[in-house]
Amino acid sequence: MSSVKNLKKDINYTLGDIITICQISKELNPDSDKAKADAIVDEVIETFDELIAKVNAKNVENKKAHYKAINAELETKANALIEKVNSL
H helices present in 29-60, as ranges: 34-55
Domain that holds residue 68: 4-86
What's the CA gap between 26 and 68, in Å, rounded? 34
On whether the CB atoms of residues 1 and 7 are closer than 8 A, the answer is: yes
Number of domains, the chain: 1
pTM summary value: 0.89
Helix-strand-coil split of the chain, %, nearest 5: 80, 0, 20
pLDDT in tens, 22-63: 999 889 888 878 889 899 999 999 999 999 999 999 998 998
Residue 21 — pLDDT band, cuts 50, 70, 90?
A: very high
If you average pLDDT over every residue of the chain, what do you get?
92
At residue 2, the pLDDT reads 62
